[in-house]
Every structure is written in structure tokens, then in C-alpha cells.
Structure 1
Amino acid sequence: MNDLARRLRELHEQPPLVLPNAWDAGSARAIEAAGAQAIATTSAGVAWAHGVDDAGGLDRAAAVAAVRAICAAVSVPVTVDVEAGYGDVARTVREVVEAGAVGVNLEDSTARVLDEPAVHAERIRVARETGGAELVINARTDTYLFGDRTGTIERAKRYADAGADVLFVPGVVDLPTIAELVKESPLPVNVMVGPGAPSVHELAEVGVVRISVGPAITGAAYALATAAAREVLTTGTYETLSIH
């Protein structure tokens, strides 16, 4: 196991692992400079940085190129969002590992439709076989995002059996519900946070191991760019930039 892969695994054993997600090499360096011990990417943010929509707008080649640039820019472990594997999980995992990633985030929906658990379990099995024992596999389930919550734990069990290391459940921010998921899940739990979500301290108290922000920072950065540009183009002033 290489040093970065070992470090990423160790960070999961010393929770909480807090991941402010990056979308390009510059944002990754900024996040590392802020003190992050590992970098996670956001597929939505990477897509937006390429000027395309998150829903299928980014292809494998562009995603892998972004991973390569991010890994080259930082010295901490990088775990990457590879959506549902871009149609070929083995090839995608092989290429992002070659680009420097030591973890992957695989989601169980395609084109915003929840896949059958067996379909995603097979993706995880292929990712494990391709990436080896050292790869940290974050199995994302979109049950809460799509309102089909009853099967979450059953999915978690199947994903654990297939070789996943962590269960990622975006779309849930209710602390009692998160605590129940942590209690019932056979895998350590990752949640996605943002304004209105419980604090890192509160999530750690109920046993959450991994905390990420998804595309929230990317969205805020682009919102600032839009607001600053609009101000200078309309009023000719620069107050939006005063936060810096």
C-alpha cells in the first residue's frame, strides 16, 4: 500500500475526516493550504469548471484529466468522485488510480435514476478488483436524495459485501436520522453538509466518520464571481470583492 493510500485509510480510523471538496488544481491547493488532511473532488464542481452540466455533461477523459491535475497540485491523499463509473468502472478506476487517486466515490444512480442494488454492488466489486485492497471505496447511495429511504440499510449491506469501505448518504441532514443510520449501517457513514446541516462536532458526536460538502464551495465561488462581475459591469463598484 502506498503512503497516500495508507494515510487516507488512517484518516478514516481517526474521525471525523472532513473533506471540503475541490473542483480543480487551484481549489485543491487552496483547500490544502487551509489545513485539509485529504482532498475530495466533486463531479458537479468539475463539470461546472468545464462549462457543462453535472448530469452527464462531463466525460471520462475530462474527469481523469482533472484528477491528474489535482493530484499533481497537492501533497495530501486525493479521493475522487467518479459518478457511476462513466459506463466502464474498471477503466475509470484504473485511470484515476494511475492519475494519483487513492480513493473513489461511486454512486448508485445513473442519469438521476436510482439503480438496483445488485447493479451498484457489481460496480463496487469491479472497483475493488481493479483498484486493489488499498483503494478506499466510498459507496454513495442516493436513496435519501430520491425519497426511497426504506432500502438504505439493505443497500449498505450489499455494498459492504461487495467491498465498499464507507457508506455515503447525501440528502440527509436531520441529526436523529443520521444517528440511526450510523447505528444500523454495517459501514462507516459519510454525510454531505452545507448551510442548515448539523455542525462537524455534532456529527462526530453521533459517530459520523466522514463529512464532505459536495459542490457547495464550488457553487459559492461561482456565485461570488457572478455577483462581483455583475457589480462592476452595472454600478462600476467593487464592494462584492471586499470580503477578500
Structure 2
Amino acid sequence: MTETRAERFRALHHGGTPLLLPNPWDSDSARMFERLGFTALATTSSGHALTLGRADGEVSRDELFDHVARIVAATALPVSADFENGFAQDAADLADVYRQAVATGLAGASIEDSTGDDDHPVRELAEAADRVRAAAEAAHAADPAFVLTGRAENHLHGRTDLADTIARLQAYQEAGADVLYAPGLSGAADIRSVIASVDRPVNVLFGPARLTVSELADLGVARISIGGSFAFAAFGAAARAARAFLESGVNDAGDLARAGHEATGF
């Protein structure tokens, strides 16, 4: 029997070395990462919003589904999607979102405990765990089961209470999350504590901790993702070249452009 994308994605979390997960922001970047040799992909909400000229969190549910369908169609690799806070308020609607996610051909998706409310940015733990449970039940009803990542957003909102973050990840594990993720963890000791406190693969956002892939592997990290940084780096490179064109009258983007042609195959 042919292995499905969801089955392959699940297995990649248990391969003995961290799964390196780049975050495409459109179909072309997805194809490029596949050509470069990555084995799975995950979408980025901030990178997607950037392509629409919006801030992270300003994309609608319908726009998200259109986006992930295009990326799934563009590559043979397993794709996990950043579903932000689930695009739903009640549990029944939330479960429907994740059933629709399975139907798109995604191998997995995330659910985070953010609210979108600057005054109260993170949900109460009991409510957040109930939402993970609803998403997990929908994800695991698929055959094969879709990989659900439970995210604790504390550190992205200046809430640096590690004990609370760990309690949240433990609750999301019990609620059915297959992978656990607390973006923004900033040191080896914190990452080690998280990994020692849970029994699921842990994803780390590459960058904030300023640790290499090898160092993260030594800590026991199962998956390393990039977030929106590659998308913003692409815009940064274009801005640097455009500034030189505008201010100095030169085109110094030649090497980058050639590298882009080679990476994309166009």
C-alpha cells in the first residue's frame, strides 16, 4: 500500500534527527523548497498575510483554505498548515474547520491558544485545552490520522512564565495534540525543560534561541520550523536591491537573481 502524505509526515517526526520544516508563503516557494531537498513543508500565516499586503491575523478562513489548497497542489511533499487559532469560536465549528483541513489533502495543521485580543491575548487553559480536543477529534477521525500541532503562544505575547507554558503543552498533549510547540522559547534550558515535561515531539522556532540545528538536536528537538522569516527575507533582499537602484543607480541583485532562477527552476 502506498504511504500517504499524512503517514509520511507523522513518521518524519520520529526519524532520529530533527525534521527541518521550511515555511512556504506561496506555490512557487513550496516548489522551490521541494527542489532544494526538504522532506515536508508548513505554511506560514505571517508570510501568507504578507503576500496579501496585510498583517498576521488578518486573513479570512476562506482565504486560508484557498491558499493551502494551492500549496498542497503545488508539491508532492506532506504539508502542514498554520491554522492560527482555528478560525472558529465554538467547538462544533472548530471541529468542522479541521475536518475541512483533512479534506484539502493537508498532512497536518496547528491550533494555537491565542485570542486575537490584545488585552487578553491567550485563552484560559481549560478553554484552550477543550479547543485542542475538538480539533484533535476531527483530525484523528481521518484515516490515516492527520497530525495536529498544539501551540502555546505565551512567549509571543511577553508571557514568559515557563511553568504555565509547560502546563499548557501538557494539557494539549492530554487533549490529543500529536506535536507540541511554544514559539519564542529563547534558551537551551527552557527548551530542555519543555522536552523533559512532555511525551510528544516538540517543534522549535528556529531563530529566537540562537541555537544551531545540531544543538537543538542534542536537546531532543524533533522538528524545527522557520515561521515567516524566509518570506520576510525575500522581501528584505528585494528592498535592499531596490534601494541600491533608487539611491545609487546600480543593480546589485544579479547574484541573488541567478540563485533564485536556479532554486526555482525558472
Higher Rg of the two aligned structures? 2
- Structure 1 unmatched ranges of 5 or more: none
Take 2:172 and 2:42, find their aligned partners in 1: how far apart are those partners? 21
The structural deviation recorded for 1:79 is 0.4
User: What's the RMSD between the two structures over aligned residues?
Assistant: 1.8
Deviates more, 1:159-168 or 1:103-112: 103-112
Q: How does 1:97-108 map to 2 (within 5 A)?
A: 97-108=102-113
Deviates more, 1:143-152 or 1:209-218: 143-152
SS of 1:177's partner is helix
TM-score by length of 1: 0.93
AA aligned opposite 1:37: T
**Match in the other structure for 2:148:** 137
Does structure 2 conserve the Cα–Cα contact (< 8 Å) formed by 1:190 and 1:209?
yes
AA aligned opposite 2:250: T
Does structure 2 conserve the Cα–Cα contact (< 8 Å) formed by 1:167 and 1:189?
yes
SS of 1:101's partner is coil
The structural deviation recorded for 1:155 is 1.1
Q: How does 1:69-218 map to 2 (within 5 A)?
A: 69-87=70-88, 88-111=93-116, 113-133=121-141, 134-145=145-156, 146-147=158-159, 148-194=161-207, 197-218=210-231
The structural deviation recorded for 1:102 is 1.3
**Aligned residue pairs, count:** 243
The structural deviation recorded for 1:45 is 0.6
Does structure 1 conserve the Cα–Cα contact (< 8 Å) formed by 2:244 and 2:251?
yes
The structural deviation recorded for 1:89 is 2.1
AA aligned opposite 2:23: N
Does structure 2 conserve the Cα–Cα contact (< 8 Å) formed by 1:21 and 1:42?
yes
Q: 1:22 aligns with which of 21, 24, 49?
A: 24
Does structure 1 conserve the Cα–Cα contact (< 8 Å) formed by 2:173 and 2:198?
no
Q: Once the two structures are aligned, what percentage of the paired residues are identical?
A: 40
The structural deviation recorded for 1:201 is 0.9
Does structure 2 conserve the Cα–Cα contact (< 8 Å) formed by 1:68 and 1:96?
no
Deviates more, 1:201-210 or 1:137-146: 137-146
- Structure 2 unmatched ranges of 5 or more: 260-266
The change in CA–CA distance for 1:65 and 1:187 in structure 2 (over 3 A counts) is same
Q: Does 1:58 align with 2:71?
A: no
The structural deviation recorded for 1:196 is 6.2
**Match in the other structure for 2:41:** 39
Does structure 2 conserve the Cα–Cα contact (< 8 Å) formed by 1:188 and 1:209?
yes
The structural deviation recorded for 1:195 is 7.1
Take 2:170 and 2:136, find their aligned partners in 1: how far apart are those partners? 16
Does structure 2 conserve the Cα–Cα contact (< 8 Å) formed by 1:156 and 1:187?
no
Take 1:96 and 1:51, find their aligned partners in 2: how far apart are those partners? 24
The change in CA–CA distance for 1:36 and 1:195 in structure 2 (over 3 A counts) is same
